[in-house]
Structure 1
Amino acid sequence: MQQLPEPLFLNFVLTALQTTHARLAITSGEATRYPAAVAPFAAIATPTTKALSHLRELLTPDEYVWATALGEADPAAAQLKVETSIDVLQMILPPEVELPPPYPGILPLDCSRAAEMVALTDIAFPGFFRRRTCEMGSYFGIHSGETNELIAMGGERLVFPGYSEMSGLCTHPDHRGQGYAAHLLWHLARLHRAQGIVSWLHVTATNATAVNLYLKLGFQTVRSIKLHKLVVV
């Protein structure tokens, strides 16, 4: 099975911010983060309390970030608190999975549609997609033929050389059951293969419906990691 290399993927936010997304990185010492308007993700280069102290310098009192690879670092000593932790699965689309024919009606989305994109994703996973998340990669949507309303979307979030995370896949509740999310996922997969890029994604381990769907589509689970929601004390 094709793998997601541990050196890149155990601290995937750091990898993205040190490579493809370096233009978006806000850094202090051993800590780095995305701008709050882009994504609620941050990373530390080493799992130490000192590195967490550097991260604390990048946060305002009223915000939170998600981070992984904390190791034995002590958030309390850095004036931070782990508000909650979740297990997420990293999954990969193997190259032998056959892709279905293209679906007509999928159109590119740019940041001029950011408000619509945020509104749609807030129904499924509020707080993760923000007004500048559209700058992280390429996004695509399906619109209602009657109103031109954005009814389904998906795109790329955490990206670095050779790998692009599929993310933001969602459909408005009034239009579910039509296979739109799968059509968008395959659209992304075709683009990635044409560019020699590996498609991968994150899914919450407890979301059995989503996990089973991705397995049915041919994705394979590589590993489980823990994400921590950090807030300022």
Structure 2
Amino acid sequence: MKFYDPDYCPFGGAVNDNETESGIAAYASLTDSFFVIGNRPDVNDKVQIEGELVCNQMVIDQRIDIDIHENIISLQTEIHRGDLFKLVNLVQPGYFKNKTADLGSYYGIYKYDQLIAVTGERMKMHGYTELSAIVTHPEHTGNGYAKQLIVHASNKIFNESKIPYLHVADNNVNAIGLYEKLGFVTRKKISFWKLHANVL
């Protein structure tokens, strides 16, 4: 069983579903809340399963031919990283950790000195890079910012001779509709099991 360092990404998974209990118990000593991807994991009394988030794993196999009109910047400075952390945790609290941005490139759109929309890269495999933190500030939705950021980030991944993919909750109809319009297709459904360490 393998996990990311919890300062980067609170996710893990196992090749053999029958050997998850000890790995989960060990990881629970490092962080109190995390996710295991795949089938329902075995746990002991040190850990409880809080719930299951079913996601569509979506992938796209060709560049997206859409013009970008917004000024998209790479979020590299400490100020940028601070703004990124605050925005993602405002909209999607719990997924984005202090060092998550170190896993890949992140991009954003500023308006009036406020970061209002972002996306970036998280989990990477041979030939594939995950798009993650596709987030728009609640006061700025509906303006096409997410679409342009996805186009920008996806095409950067294609420039690296890799394939972009992403995960989206299977009940997030609006987001799925946007991804499908851009050319993403659902590869499969994947469960993200939220676990919590019991305090004894």
Question: TM-score over 0.5 for the alignment?
Answer: yes
Question: Cα distance, 1:193 vs. partner?
Answer: 1.6
1:87-113 per-position Cα deviation (integer Å, ceiling 9, x unaligned): 100001132x64213434111012613
Preserved contact between residue 66 and residue 229 of structure 1 (Cα < 8 Å) = yes
Task: Give the corresponding residue for 1:100.
Answer: 66
Question: Cα distance, 1:55 vs. partner?
Answer: 2.5
Which aligned pairs between 1:35-114 and structure 2 lie closer than 5 A? 35-48=5-18, 50-60=19-29, 63-70=32-39, 74-76=42-44, 79-95=46-62, 98-110=64-76, 112=78, 113-114=80-81
CA RMSD of aligned residues (A): 2.0
**1:218 and 2:151 correspond:** no
Preserved contact between residue 111 and residue 134 of structure 1 (Cα < 8 Å) = no
Q: Secondary structure at the match of 1:45?
A: coil
Give TM-score scaled by structure 2 length.
Answer: 0.89
Distance (Å, rounded) in 1 between the aligned partners of 2:84 and 2:138: 14
Question: Cα distance, 1:40 vs. partner?
Answer: 1.5
Task: Give the corresponding residue for 1:152.
Answer: 117
- Which has the larger share of strand? 2
| Structure-2 change in CA distance of 1:58 and 1:174 (3 Å) | same
Aligned length: 197
Distance (Å, rounded) in 1 between the aligned partners of 2:106 and 2:141: 19
Give TM-score scaled by structure 1 length.
Answer: 0.77
Question: Cα distance, 1:231 vs. partner?
Answer: 1.9
Which one is further off, 57-66 or 193-202? Answer: 57-66
Runs of at least 5 residues in structure 2 that lack an aligned partner in the other structure: none
Identity %: 28
Preserved contact between residue 110 and residue 134 of structure 1 (Cα < 8 Å) = no
Q: Secondary structure at the match of 1:58?
A: helix
Runs of at least 5 residues in structure 1 that lack an aligned partner in the other structure: 1-30
**1:127 and 2:127 correspond:** no
1:146-169 per-position Cα deviation (integer Å, ceiling 9, x unaligned): 3x2211111001111210111111
| Higher RCO (Cα < 8 Å, 6 or more apart) | 2
Preserved contact between residue 155 and residue 169 of structure 1 (Cα < 8 Å) = yes
